[in-house]
Structure 1
Amino acid sequence: MDNLTKFFSFELPTKIIYGANCLDNLCIELKENEGKKPIIITDKGVEKAGILKKITDLLDKDDFPYVVYDGVEANPKDVNVEEGAKIARENDCDCIIAVGGGSPIDCAKSVGVLLAHNDTEIKKYEGKTAATKPLPLFITIPTTSGTGSEITFSSVITDTKNKYKMTVKSKYTAAKVAICDPVLTLSVPPAVTAATGMDALTHAIEAYTATCSEPIADAVSLYAIELIYNNLKTAVFEGDKLQARSAMLMGSMLAGIGFSHSDVASVHCISEALGGMFDLAHGVCNAVLLPHVMEYNKDYCVAKYARVAKAMGFEFKSDDEGADLAVKAVQQLALDVKLPLFSELNVEPKDFDILAKKSAINISTESNPRPMSKEDYLNVLNNAYNAK
């Protein structure tokens, strides 16, 4: 409650369409926004799951011409962005439909940046000020409950030359329309459901506890924590339960709203370093690191961690007890949904020094509730690696 007197602004330019089978609204939105020929940006997994065909069937039914780019990789690369933009130009596409998890949606945002600026190199638009022009009509259709990228203002793209993740952020990169249909998430495999769900939980917890948090972000983040914590295991192990899948998609979206109007923090700083160097799944990295960063932060945000525990449904007699419960609950949840330990990833202690250095210079380090130096990051990495 200590941020109620601070100045903040809140902007959400994306129209959100949510609910079972709301995908049927796609062509209506294209027509209302005068989209003529979309490029569909997606990945092979979406195509294999049969979701791409649902999109193209709708477009075919309404006689929309379209082009598909399905070459997006996990942890989308600068080369994916530049290839997608090239295909869009060559085929005179005037709008973009992003279908998938965070990778296709982030890639599509950056494709839109290149189209808007009539450019071919996404590296030029790294940061918060370089993208200055409105994107073509941009519609997002999430198929996982993780990144919240369907409504955020930023995309995280791997710089393949320098092997790190750069952020392209601007109010102009937000989607015009997000079509959030939980039915599309029913086919997500358990391991991916677990990783993306922990990613969303990390977004919500870091948004709520970041030094730059604000009241609206706090509100949506706390509800996201409640939804995700209480539905993730069902979504993982009983993936056909639409109620749990719906709660996860809503939780993911709310967490996205939360961190896009607050920030992420040191968990993401390490995860982005890991992803850039080793191409590891972002959600898995967040899951294995979240409890260890929370343990490091705990004394600096006891009351907020206690509020996190309350959102999870715990009862306790003191804030200290609640904060301890929150840390333990997060660690246990990652184990319950069968995510690996940090020591089981393809990362060795000899890599920790460079990981700590990259993490410390990440801009979101300053949003962490407890200051973190390179040495602090090293300690957290070692603690995570030695955890059982």
Structure 2
Amino acid sequence: MLQYTFSLPTTIRFGVGAVKEAGVCAKSLGATHVMIVADQGVIRAGLTRDVETSLRDADIPYTYYDKIVPNPRDYHCVEGYETARAAGIDCLVAVGGGSSMDTAKAIGTLLTHGGKVQDWCGADKLLRPITPLIAIPTTAGTGSEVTPFAVVTDSETHVKLNIFDAKAAPKIALVDPTMLMGLPPHIMAATGIDAMTHAVEAYTCKLAVPHTDAYALYAIKLISKNLRNAVNNRSLDACTGMMLGSTIAGIAFGYSDVAAVHCMAEALGGRYDLPHGVANAILLPTVTAYNLPTNTKKYADVAEAMGLDVTGKTAEEAAAACVDGLRQLCTDVDIKPMREHPEIKPEDFHALSVAAMANVSTPSNPREMTVEAFEELFQKAYAGE
């Protein structure tokens, strides 16, 4: 009989104006001095103003840490930790995409554990909860506001490492769809495909369970319905659908896993600093096609959830339609194929495959992976297959 445990350590507050509750939430966590972790672009765009106002209204002082970069580096996390420790920070508020939230999770880990980031990378290594974290997403992609892990790049090896522990999950997620209204279309596209990848891999990976299946399928429906409009014809309705889809996909993969698409994408990001969502997008159709034979019924379910016409199709035909649908979605939101990213070099594919094979999520892929299989998939993706 199937047995598993499912719990959500994060309280989610969703809706227009949710970001204005930051001060009340921080006070509920006992905060006396907050660090706002956000990149300079998010700050310049005014997306932290309501957080500042809310904290002032709650009489909670705050300090900024803004050295946030895509694919966050270990040394930035250490610098943020040292700044927070010197300031006596007892609560973190991350505002931004996955990079801000991952950086904040690593800072919180070091505040309660000491040592270096690498000491706490791996599964279930934390000894106690991290510093209380409020996560406020400004993109609809990473789902990091509800996930129990942080991805950090080792600056010496250029390999992405994972802190993977429920004790690293944010205490509160303030999920406000208005935060997406000014997001540049290319970022909406990349982060949206990232969310779709989370949902598809969560549903089809080996660690999927009925609860995560339900979240994943609903996320696929929401993202398929709203992403094109969110990119090409922005509206609050489309942003609401995408923010819901992203957070729900985050729950799905955060409590099942991702698979080979992410393993390969993280290898690309570690080597070339390629945006994570773009890396996922250029690999998703190719890897999905490779995985189809393992569970055609589930991939047929994905096609149906995407709204594709599967009437009269066999499970195999519907599963194949899923691949075509994912490829078309990437095209419709103007994600360039792998060969149009000049930084990606075919001569690196073997080293990238070795890195992908070492990823903690490789065993979760529905089809067995080898270094040779990863290398073949890199080659196929580069050829547009």
Tell me, yes or no, if structure 1 residue 250 matches structure 2 residue 244.
yes
Task: Kindly indicate whether the alpha-carbon contact (under 8 Å) linking 1:85 and 1:120 is maintained by their aligned counterparts in 2.
Answer: no
Please report how far the alpha carbon of residue 136 of structure 1 lies from its aligned counterpart in structure 2 after TM superposition: 2.0
- Residue aligning to 2:265: 271
- Residue aligning to 1:321: 317
Tell me, yes or no, if structure 1 residue 376 matches structure 2 residue 370.
no
- Residue aligning to 2:188: 193
Q: Distance in 2 between matches of 1:86 and 1:355?
A: 33
Tell me, yes or no, if structure 1 residue 127 matches structure 2 residue 122.
yes
Task: Kindly indicate whether the alpha-carbon contact (under 8 Å) linking 1:132 and 1:170 is maintained by their aligned counterparts in 2.
Answer: no
Q: Distance in 2 between matches of 1:132 and 1:244?
A: 41
SS of corresponding position for 2:95: strand
What amino acid does structure 2 have at the position aligned with 1:373?
A: T
Please report how far the alpha carbon of residue 357 of structure 1 lies from its aligned counterpart in structure 2 after TM superposition: 1.1
What amino acid does structure 2 have at the position aligned with 1:126?
A: C
Q: Distance in 2 between matches of 1:60 and 1:129?
A: 36
Tell me, yes or no, if structure 1 residue 228 matches structure 2 residue 228.
no
**Aligned equivalent of 1:67, options 50, 63, 67:** 63
Tell me, yes or no, if structure 1 residue 294 matches structure 2 residue 288.
yes
- Residue aligning to 1:281: 275
**Aligned equivalent of 1:332, options 325, 328, 331:** 328
Please report how far the alpha carbon of residue 361 of structure 1 lies from its aligned counterpart in structure 2 after TM superposition: 1.9
TM-score calculated relative to the size of structure 2: 0.97
Tell me, yes or no, if structure 1 residue 308 matches structure 2 residue 302.
yes
Please report how far the alpha carbon of residue 363 of structure 1 lies from its aligned counterpart in structure 2 after TM superposition: 2.0
Task: Kindly indicate whether the alpha-carbon contact (under 8 Å) linking 1:44 and 1:70 is maintained by their aligned counterparts in 2.
Answer: yes
Q: Distance in 2 between matches of 1:267 and 1:6?
A: 27
What amino acid does structure 2 have at the position aligned with 1:351?
A: D
Task: Kindly indicate whether the alpha-carbon contact (under 8 Å) linking 1:131 and 1:170 is maintained by their aligned counterparts in 2.
Answer: yes
What amino acid does structure 1 have at the position aligned with 2:266?
A: E
- Residue aligning to 2:33: 37
**Aligned equivalent of 1:359, options 356, 360, 366:** 356
Q: Structure 1: where are the runs of 5+ without partners?
A: none
- Residue aligning to 2:101: 105
Task: Kindly indicate whether the alpha-carbon contact (under 8 Å) linking 2:192 and 2:223 is maintained by their aligned counterparts in 1.
Answer: yes
- Residue aligning to 2:18: 22
Q: Distance in 1 between matches of 2:308 and 2:335?
A: 23
Please report how far the alpha carbon of residue 260 of structure 1 lies from its aligned counterpart in structure 2 after TM superposition: 1.1
The runs of at least 4 consecutive aligned structure 1 residues that moved more than 6 Å come to: none
Tell me, yes or no, if structure 1 residue 219 matches structure 2 residue 214.
yes
Please report how far the alpha carbon of residue 313 of structure 1 lies from its aligned counterpart in structure 2 after TM superposition: 1.4
What amino acid does structure 2 have at the position aligned with 1:382?
A: Q
1:91-146 Cα shifts (integer Å, max 9, x gaps): 111111111000000110110000011x1411111101321111222111111000
Q: Distance in 1 between matches of 2:69 and 2:360?
A: 25
SS of corresponding position for 1:303: helix
Count of aligned pairs: 382
Task: Kindly indicate whether the alpha-carbon contact (under 8 Å) linking 1:197 and 1:248 is maintained by their aligned counterparts in 2.
Answer: yes
What are the equivalent positions in structure 2 for 1:80-95 lying under 5 Å apart?
80-95=76-91
Please report how far the alpha carbon of residue 315 of structure 1 lies from its aligned counterpart in structure 2 after TM superposition: 2.8
Q: Distance in 1 between matches of 2:353 and 2:87?
A: 43
TM-score calculated relative to the size of structure 1: 0.97
What are the equivalent positions in structure 2 for 1:156-171 lying under 5 Å apart?
156-171=151-166
Tell me, yes or no, if structure 1 residue 8 matches structure 2 residue 12.
no
- Residue aligning to 1:146: 141
Tell me, yes or no, if structure 1 residue 341 matches structure 2 residue 340.
no
Q: Structure 2: where are the runs of 5+ without partners?
A: none
* Identity between Structure 1 and Structure 2 (%): 41
What amino acid does structure 1 have at the position aligned with 2:320?
A: D
Please report how far the alpha carbon of residue 344 of structure 1 lies from its aligned counterpart in structure 2 after TM superposition: 1.3
Please report how far the alpha carbon of residue 378 of structure 1 lies from its aligned counterpart in structure 2 after TM superposition: 1.1
What amino acid does structure 1 have at the position aligned with 2:77?
A: V
Tell me, yes or no, if structure 1 residue 51 matches structure 2 residue 11.
no
Q: Distance in 1 between matches of 2:83 and 2:317?
A: 55
Task: Kindly indicate whether the alpha-carbon contact (under 8 Å) linking 1:159 and 1:166 is maintained by their aligned counterparts in 2.
Answer: yes
Task: Kindly indicate whether the alpha-carbon contact (under 8 Å) linking 1:82 and 1:120 is maintained by their aligned counterparts in 2.
Answer: no
Q: Distance in 2 between matches of 1:350 and 1:339?
A: 23
What amino acid does structure 2 have at the position aligned with 1:242?
A: L
What amino acid does structure 2 have at the position aligned with 1:386?
A: A
Q: Distance in 2 between matches of 1:375 and 1:198?
A: 26
Task: Kindly indicate whether the alpha-carbon contact (under 8 Å) linking 1:128 and 1:169 is maintained by their aligned counterparts in 2.
Answer: yes
Q: Distance in 1 between matches of 2:200 and 2:91?
A: 34
Q: RMSD over aligned Cα, in angstroms?
A: 1.0
Q: Distance in 1 between matches of 2:128 and 2:48?
A: 29
Between stretches 129-138 and 108-117, larger displacement belongs to 129-138
Q: Distance in 2 between matches of 1:327 and 1:31?
A: 47
